[in-house]
Structure 1
Amino acid sequence: MEVTPQPGNDQATHWNGPAGLAWVETQAVLDALFEPFEALLVEAASAKSGGRVLDVGCGTGSTTLAVARRLGAAGRCVGIDISEPMIAMARARAEREGSPARFICADAQDHAFEAAGFDRIVSRFGVMFFADPVRAFANLRRAASDAAELRCIAWRSPSDNPFMTTAERAAAPLLPNLPARRPNAPGQFAFADRQRVDAILHESGWAGIEIRPIDVDCTMPEAGLVDYLNRLGPVGLMLREVDDATRKQVVETIRAAFAPYVHGSEVRFTAACWMVEARAAMV
C-alpha cells in the first residue's frame, strides 16, 4: 500500500521518507529503548474494560502487538500510522507472530474510523505530530465509545530531556543549517506544555483529564549508540546530506558529548514525559 503525501502535509512526507526508514532500520534498538513505556500502556489493557484497542502512531507495531498478546482472543487491537515503511514492518511482524493485530496506514487526524469502534485508545510517542491536534483528538473521540479511556505518553520539554537534545547542541557549530525546533510545532516536544495539552483534550471532547509527569529510566547498548546518532533525529537526517569528512567529524563530536550517559557497555538516561489520561465525554 503506497501513501501519497497530501499537499502541505509535512508529516506524511517526513515519515514516508528517510525518517520512517530510519525507524525501520533501528526498530530493534528503539523497541528495547522504549519498552518501559510500552509496559505502562499494556498494563492498562484488559478485556474486562473493553477489548477494542486503537494504538495511535503505532510505528513498527511493538505496542500494538504487545496489547494484542495481552488481550488474547477476547480483544481486537488496531494500530494506525502515517508511515508506509513502518506499517509494512508492523504487518510483517504480525504475520510472523501469528497475531490478530491489524494495521492501517493513514493519518489518524482524518481517517474515517468506525464510529464508537474502540473502548481504549493508547499511544506511545505518537500523538505529538498532528498538524491540527484539536481536529485529530476530536476524530479519535468519534472513534471512541462513550466513556472509552485514552492513555498516551508524550515527551515533556527539551530542557527536561537533555539526552534527546545533546546531539543537536553538540552538532550545531558543525551543521549551521540544522533546523531549530519550534515550540508547539508538530514534533517530539509538541506536547511539552501541559496546559496546552489539557486545552486540546477539553476542546476535542475528552473529560476526566489527568496529565502527570513520569520519569522513566531507559537503557540501550553502548555498541548501538553511534548507529543511533547516525540515523535518528534532526542530526541523523542531516548527516545523510553531508560529505563523508563532515559526517565523520560530526559523529565524533556528538559521540564525545554523550560520554556522561555511557556507563560501561550501557547508555543510560532518564526520559521525562507526560502520562496523559482521559475518558471520552458522554454525548
Structure 2
Amino acid sequence: MSMANKDQEEMWNGPGGKAWVRAQTLLDTAFQPFADILVKAVTAAGATSVLDIGCGTGATTLGMAEALGPDADCLGLDISETMITHARKRAAETGSTAEFIVADAQTHPFKAGSFDMITSRFGVMFFEDPVAAFRNLNRAAQPGTTLTMFSWRGPEENPFMTAAETAARPLLPGLPAREPDARGQFGFADAARVERILSEAGWSDVASEKIDVPCRFPLSTLDVYVSLMGPVGYAMAQGVDEETRDKVTEAVRGALMDFVEGDEIVFTAACWKTTAQS
C-alpha cells in the first residue's frame, strides 16, 4: 500500500482518527446537511459507481449506497485504518452494500475508468501533492465523470471552527498557527488556487460555489467536541496535566456559548462546493 502522505497517515491512525470515531454520532449529526447534498447529487446523476474520498467513518458513503440501491457500487476511501474499520463495522451492522478501503488517493492504483462519480465531504485538503492526487483521481474516472467536493472557506468566515483555539491559546501556547494554503482544514480556502490545481490535473469545467450551511449538534455533547476535535482536541490528546485540561475545557466551553440556541450548538459552515468534469 503506497502512502505519499505519511504525516497524515500517522495523524489519522493516531489521535485524529480515534477522535473522529469517538465523536462519530456528533459529527454525523453536525454535517448531515452535506451528506444530504451529496446523496441528492449522486441520485440525480443516476450514478452507478461512486468513489467517496476521505470518507472517514463512512456516513456519506453509507448514505449514497442506501439511496442508489444494491445495483450501484459505492466505495469509501480513507488513509485512516482506524476510521475505515469503524466504517466497515457500520456497514456490516446495517447490511449496507457500501465498501471501504484503506488507501491514499494520491497514489492508489485505481483501475482506469472505474467511477462515474467522485465525491468528497471535507476529505481533499490534506494531500502532499494535490495536483498528483487529482490527476490520479482523473485517471480513475470515466469520461464525463462529475467530481463534487466540499471544502472550507477561510477561518475568518468560520468563527465557530476557530473559537476553541482562540480561547485555548493562552493556555496551550504551542497550538499551531493557521497558515494560508497549508494542508489541513482551510487548505482549499482559496477557490482560484483549487481551480488551478484541478485544471492542471486534467479536470475541466471547474466551478466553485459559495455555500453557507447551517449545522447543529446537541449542547449535551459539547464537552465531547471540546475534548476531541480540532487543534485543541489534538493538543490535549498529546497529554496535558489535569489542571490545564480543566482550564482549557472551561475556556473553550465559555467561548462556544455564543453558538448556543436552546439545547443545541448551531453554527454556519462557510464552504465551497466545487464541481468538475473528467
Q: Same fold (TM over 0.5)?
A: yes
Shifted more, 181-190 versus 44-53: the winner is: 44-53
The aligned counterpart of 2:173 is 176
The aligned counterpart of 1:137 is 134
> What is the identity, as a one-letter code, of the residue corresponding to 2:188?
F
* Cα drift, residue 4 of structure 1: 9.2
Name the SS of the counterpart of 1:126 in structure 2: coil
Percent identity, aligned pairs only? 52
The 5 A counterparts of 1:61-80 are 61-80=58-77
The aligned counterpart of 1:160 is 157
> What is the identity, as a one-letter code, of the residue corresponding to 1:232?
M
Residues 47, 68 of structure 2: 8 Å contact kept? no
* Cα drift, residue 16 of structure 1: 0.7
Question: Matches of 2:267 and 2:74 in 1, distance apart?
Answer: 31
Deviations 1:154-203 (A, max 9, x none): 10000000000000111111111111122211100000001100000100
The two structures have a TM-score, normalised by structure 1, of 0.95
Deviations 1:220-249 (A, max 9, x none): 100101110101111011112110000000
The 5 A counterparts of 1:244-259 are 244-259=242-257
Query: Is 1:118 equivalent to 2:106 in the alignment?
Result: no
Residues 48, 68 of structure 2: 8 Å contact kept? yes
Query: Is 1:222 equivalent to 2:197 in the alignment?
Result: no
Deviations 1:62-92 (A, max 9, x none): 1001100111022110000000010000001
The two structures have a TM-score, normalised by structure 2, of 0.97
The aligned counterpart of 2:260 is 262
Question: Matches of 1:48 and 1:29 in 2, distance apart?
Answer: 29
> What is the identity, as a one-letter code, of the residue corresponding to 2:34?
F
The aligned counterpart of 1:56 is 53
The gaps in structure 2 that reach 5 residues or longer are none
2:80 to 76, 80, 83: 83
The 5 A counterparts of 1:100-111 are 100-111=97-108
Name the SS of the counterpart of 1:100 in structure 2: coil
Which structure 1 residue ranges, 4+ long, deviate > 6 Å from structure 2? 3-6
Question: Matches of 1:57 and 1:188 in 2, distance apart?
Answer: 12
When residues 176 and 4 of structure 1 are mapped into structure 2, their CA distance, relative to the original with a 3 A threshold, is farther
Shifted more, 189-198 versus 94-103: the winner is: 94-103
Name the SS of the counterpart of 1:43 in structure 2: helix
> What is the identity, as a one-letter code, of the residue corresponding to 1:141?
N
Residues 2, 104 of structure 2: 8 Å contact kept? no
Residues 208, 273 of structure 2: 8 Å contact kept? yes
When residues 120 and 220 of structure 1 are mapped into structure 2, their CA distance, relative to the original with a 3 A threshold, is same
Question: Matches of 1:34 and 1:100 in 2, distance apart?
Answer: 22
Residues 39, 64 of structure 2: 8 Å contact kept? yes
* Cα drift, residue 5 of structure 1: 6.6
The aligned counterpart of 2:228 is 231
Name the SS of the counterpart of 2:55 in structure 1: coil
